[in-house]
Amino acid sequence: MDAGNLKKFSSAVNLTLFWENRRKNGDVEKYEQKKYGLGNVWIGGSHPVAIQSMTNTKTEDVAATVEQILALEAAGCEIIRCAVPTMEAALALKEIKKQIHIPLVADIHFDYRLAIAAIENGADKIRINPGNIGSKERVQAVVEKAKEYNVPIRVGVNSGSLEKNLLEKYGGVTAEGIVESALDKVRMIEEMGYDNLVVSIKSSDVLMCVRAHELIAEKCQYPLHVGITESGTVYSGNIKSSVGLGIILHEGIGNTIRVSLTGDPTEEIRTAKLILKTLGMRKGGIEVVSCPTCGRTRIDLIALANQVEKMVQDIDLDIKVAVMGCVVNGPGEAKEADIGIAGGIGEGLLIKKGEIVRKVKEEELLETLRQELLNWNR
């Protein structure tokens, strides 16, 4: 997408608006993004961007996998993906499905029989790369089973799985090559008479990933799952995912997202929710803002801010909370917050909309704020 189009569509919040704008300007006539019901979640069209994560337990271990999925549900995960490397894992999906409340995606590589078994055992969607499933006949067998159960197929292509001919054609891994590979797989399945598809193209190179999504959004009417693959640890992965997903989503591209982190999967959900909230694409949850500390700070602001952030995770309010380090600038800097606290020497201030409500002892600041939040609407 050139700079003019980027500016033109930067305020779009989903692909439906993207395609509507293109149609209005005569750029495209035939595309209208598809939408699907995935269990109790709708993806595509004008439906909100859904947050996805992936378990890191052995799927064969039903108890451990269910425990992790329930924790992810509580954190706000809306779609869960599980690796299915063995037939035992495929068969375990049936029992896992009985104990969870969100759609389950089965992730399959290489063995087409695992994809078929996963569908038969209740997977709401399967993720495959047709290029590593094997022969066309094996892909066809998977497609026929998906048709029978009306299960969407997520066609996934990563930069690390590009075919040799595309690497030679483009002189290495490129956004153009990733898109061509994905669209080749899409056409293969379409020719088999199935179009209940979701497309995923990923790279660990943030800007390459952005460019690939800009290219495929102009050519594909299927819902897009977006993520920066192999983005790294909680620290580096959060930064790379926030930059990449932020750009892609702000351009109006993407229907489901995953923040891929080497760490506790619940961290992926926290980051994904904040990305969407920051972009104005999701409401709900308390936003905590805090000052960066300076020489005027007279309390342990770093510890206090972290305590507040942890404390508010389970409080269902859509407000902004400020945690400020001093009473000199605290009230003024907290004006944009609904409520806040500012520390001093042995005492602190409770602030609402920039106005000082009262002074409290330093050791009572956190609990005072907590009680105010718990009684916010009373």
- Residue ranges of the chain assigned to CATH 3.30.413.10: 287-374
287-374: CATH superfamily: Sulfite Reductase Hemoprotein, domain 1 (3.30.413.10)
pLDDT of res. 88: 97
Fold type of domain 3-278: TIM Barrel (3.20.20)
- Whole-angstrom distance, CA of residue 214 vs CA of residue 246: 13
pTM for the model stands at: 0.81
pLDDT of res. 19: 46
| Axis crossing angle, helix 62-75 with helix 265-278, rounded to the nearest 10 | 20
- Whole-angstrom distance, CA of residue 124 vs CA of residue 118: 9
pLDDT of res. 144: 95
Contact, 328 vs 314, CB < 8 A? no
Instruction: Record the tokens describing residue 85, joined without a space.
Output: 């490397």
CA angle 134, 138, 140 (to 5 degrees): 125
pLDDT of res. 330: 67
- Residue ranges of the chain assigned to CATH 3.20.20.20: 3-278
Contacts 24+ apart (CB under 8 A), 6-10: 6/214, 6/251, 9/251, 9/252, 10/250, 10/251, 10/252
Instruction: Record the tokens describing residue 329, joined without a space.
Output: 């600038």
Question: Which value, to the nearest 10 degrees, does the dihedral of the CA atoms of residues 220, 224, 228, 229 take?
Answer: -90
Instruction: Record the tokens describing residue 247, joined without a space.
Output: 């750009």
pLDDT of res. 8: 34
Half-sphere exposure of 355 (CA within 13 A, CB side): 3
Q: Give 255-272 pLDDT, tens digit per residue.
A: 999 999 898 999 999 999
| Axis crossing angle, helix 365-374 with helix 301-311, rounded to the nearest 10 | 20
What are the mean pLDDT values of the chain's consecutive 10-residue runs (378 residues total)? 39 43 47 76 90 95 97 94 96 96 93 95 91 85 94 87 85 91 90 91 91 91 89 87 94 92 91 92 85 78 88 87 77 80 82 86 88 84
Strand ranges across the sheet with 320-324: 287-290, 320-324, 339-343, 347-352, 355-361
CA distances from 347 to 68, 301, 340, 343 (A): 41, 13, 14, 6
